[in-house]
Chains A and B, each alone.
Chain A
Amino acid sequence: MKYEIQPTLPPPSSMIGVVGWLRKNLFNGPVNSIATIVVGYFLISFLVPTIQWIFIDSDWVGTSRDACTSGGACWVFISNRLDQFLYGFYPEAEHWRPQLAFIILMGSIAWLVMPQTPRKGLVATLLLVVYPIIAYFLLYGNAFGLNQVETHLWGGLTLTLVLAVVGIVASLPLGILLALGRQSDMPIVKSVCVTFIEIWRGVPLITVLFMASVMLPLFFPEGMSFDKLLRALIGITLFQSAYMAEVIRGGLQAIPKGQYEAADALGLGYWQKMILIIMPQALKLMIPGIVNTFIALFKDTSLVLIIGLFDVLAIGQAANQDPDWIGYSTESYLFVALLFWVFCFSMSRYSQQLEKKLHTGHGNR
């Protein structure tokens, strides 16, 4: 028998082009088609006016509400108060300080995120160890010829980032210690850790913040004032470290017993075993959970408004009360939401990228 050489044919037209794609993905069968039409209808009837309101009918330039005449969003409101949204009541002449702190932070993070950059370990160590000191002196001052800026003046995005970064950086190691303690053979260590974790997980963050701002001072001697921001930071960190501990415990449990045994049999001590063998494997598994906790923490920072700290959401609310700008609260809430979303979405994307990278790196398991 003889076989003809088969010609290479283009795919049938139903598979290619816009029509092909639509037919395959949106209109394959009656149920799918109806769903597409219904969802499409709602999307269009919602999106079109929204986009029109945000972008087309909106006003962008001006100095007062008189500039807002088009009937759409009044972004003039935001741009006039942008400094407050970003820096709170931080003195204008000193705005370069949070800016510099922010640039160093983002620069180092970008360095760590980019795939090709060298010396990531060094940068990460500097970021965790040296950066907090630099940032403290930059923001607070009272040294190196910088004026002191009291923390009650800090606000807006600056304050949100301070709360989130400190919370994240401090709660991870604390959470690791708590998780290890919870697994410990030593009954006292174990019960202290379990009690700590369960107490903090059982109360809402709002209560924690109230207690930190109202009750904590009662335990300190008269006249000794204890910075309100610091109290909030301690509350947030302890609260989040309890959650972090549970995420980490989950990761630790996923490591096979054989890994512990091999490390023991080689004579590694407890900390060597944990730091060199168990944690690197567990942290890899825990990235999604850890980032989830970070994202939750980032959003939770907005609760500090109830104890009178002016994070970016509180600044937005304060702006809404301004008699000159009554009626533009939608704009300020949208703007605040956008700021939160940008940070949280970046974290989520980075974690996905990191996960992928770590998974392709090492063959099995």
Chain B
Amino acid sequence: MSHSQATDKLMVELRDLNKWYGEFHVLKNINLEVRQGEKIVICGPSGSGKSTMIRCINHLEEHQKGDIIVNDIPLNEDIKNIEAIRKEVGMVFQHFNLFPHLTVLENCVLAPIWVKKMPRKEAEARAMELLERVKIPDQALKYPGQLSGGQQQRVAIARSLCMNPDVMLFDEPTSALDPEMIKEVLDVMIELANEGMTMLCVTHEMGFAKTVADRVIFMDGGQIVEENEPHEFFNNPQHERTQLFLSQILAH
């Protein structure tokens, strides 16, 4: 179990977050505080609102009620704030979402150059450094379509890191991968966690949760049902629904 690297600074705050899709109440009074350096793992059954919740944090989804504050910036209609938050929040998707018409390197330098106005040379140097860290510097000039799923996901992680985010969001980063590729992606994520990144991670990789998470959050029906540090969460789940969920996923 990792020693918590969390500081006292609040990085992400969700206060009474509510969201509806039309009539459908997807997120119900979500309250969550994530401190700098903290690693949160979010799990729960399909359709429980996990993706929706973390996608609200960088405004890929709009919330209707409640407050979201990222690194002291309130997320509201002000496009300036949305842009500012997106610069500080990196996101890794289930299906990688690399840009297929650009090489791996171009994928990585695009946002630093256009959003941060970083000189190309500097952006490329930084991108190569990060591709080195995710162990695929030799693929820099290939196109995403020429890489394996595991490699693509590592590129996606490097691409997000190129923006030097303060927070990383992961939405089931390994669930579209073949089993033999899951480990290479998890290794990169564990390394990132050990370096002190603030992470919110939707995943059902319970090994990962046990190794790096400071807290595990269980969601069901659009609510946070249970929240605990990993040892307690897995060994002593309080809520009946958590117990059922854990017995189902651990049965595999």
Instruction: Write the residues of chain A forming the contact surface with B, with a CB cutoff of 8 angstroms.
Output: 256, 258-259, 261-269, 272, 276-277, 280-281, 284, 361-365
Instruction: Please provide the 9 A-B residue pairs with the shortest distance between their CB atoms, ordered closest to farther.
Output: A363-B145, A364-B145, A262-B97, A258-B97, A266-B111, A267-B86, A265-B91, A363-B146, A267-B115
Evaluate contact between B100 and A264: CB separation under 8 angstroms.
no
Instruction: Return the chain B residue nearest A364 by Cβ.
Output: B145
Partner of B100, one of A265, A269, A272, A362: A362
Nearest B-chain residue to A267, judged by Cβ: B86
Query: B83, B99, B143, B160: which contacts A269 (Cβ < 8 A)?
Result: B83
A336 to chain B, nearest CB (A): 41
30 A-B contact pairs sorted by A residue (CB < 8 Å): A258-B93, A259-B97, A262-B93, A262-B99, A264-B59, A265-B90, A265-B160, A266-B86, A266-B110, A266-B160, A266-B163, A267-B86, A267-B115, A267-B163, A268-B110, A268-B114, A268-B115, A269-B115, A272-B114, A276-B114, A277-B99, A281-B99, A281-B100, A362-B100, A362-B143, A363-B144, A363-B145, A363-B146, A364-B100, A365-B100
Q: With A and B bound together, what is the CA distance between A361 and B115 in angstroms?
A: 27
Set of chain A residues within 8 Å of B95, measured between Cβ atoms: 258
Residues of chain B lying within 8 A (CB to CB) of residue A269: 83, 115
Whole-angstrom distance from the CB of B129 to the nearest CB of chain A? 18
Question: How far is the CB of B119 from the nearest CB of chain A, in Å?
Answer: 17
Which of B86, B99, B144, B146 meets A265, CB within 8 Å? B86
Chain A residue, CB-CB nearest to B146: A363
Q: Which A-chain residue is minimally distant from B100 (CB atoms)?
A: A365
B83, B86, B101, B159 interface centre (most CB from chain A within 10 Å): B101
Contact of B101 among A258, A261, A268, A280 (CB under 8 A): A280
A32 to B87, CA, bound (A): 66
How many A-B pairs have beta carbons closer than 8 Å: the answer is 73
> Closest residue of chain B to A275, judged by CB?
B114
Bound CA–CA A219/B137 (angstroms)? 64
What range describes how many residues of B lie at the interface? Answer: 20 to 34
Taken together as a complex, chains A and B put the C-alpha atoms of A64 and B101 apart, in Å, by 60
Chain A residues with Cβ below 8 Å from B97 are 256, 258-259, 261-262
B interface vs A, CB < 8 Å?
Answer: 58-60, 83, 86-87, 89-91, 93, 95, 97-101, 110-111, 114-115, 142-146, 159-160, 163
Contacts of B146 in A (CB 8 A): 363-364
Q: A264 CA to B62 CA in the complex, in Å?
A: 13
Question: Is the Cβ of B100 less than 8 Å from the Cβ of A363?
Answer: yes
CB closest residue in chain B, given A265 = B91
- In this complex, what residue of A is CB-closest to B84? A267
Docked Cα-Cα span, A284 to B58, in Å, equals: 30
Report the separation of the CA atoms of residues A354 and B58 in the bound assembly, to the nearest whole angstrom.
38
Known: A262-B97, A277-B99, A361-B143. 9 other contacts (CB 8 A): A259-B97, A265-B60, A265-B160, A266-B115, A267-B111, A267-B115, A280-B101, A281-B101, A363-B145
Most A CB within 10 A of own CB, among B83, B97, B98: B97
Given the complex, which residues of B lie within 8 Å of A277, measured CB to CB?
Answer: 99
CB proximity of B97 to chain A, nearest CB, Å: 4
Contact among A268, A281, A361, A362 for B111, CB-based, below 8 A: A268
Distance of A364 Cα from B142 Cα, bound (Å): 12
Q: What residues of chain A lie closer than 8 Å to B143, measured between beta carbons?
A: 361-363
Determine the chain B residues whose CB is within 8 A of the CB of A363 once the complex forms.
100, 142-146
Within the assembled complex, what's the spacing in Å between the Cα atoms of A267 and B87?
6
Q: How far is the CA of A258 from the CA of B97 in the complex (A)?
A: 5
Q: Is the CB of A267 within 8 A of B100?
A: no
A259, A266, A272, A277 — which one has the most chain B CB atoms within 10 A of its CB? Answer: A266
**How far in angstroms is the closest Cβ of chain A from B154?**
15
Which residue, of A258, A361, A362, has the highest number of chain B Cβ atoms within 10 A?
A362
Question: A258-B93, A284-B101, A363-B100 known; A265 and B145 CB under 8 Å?
Answer: no
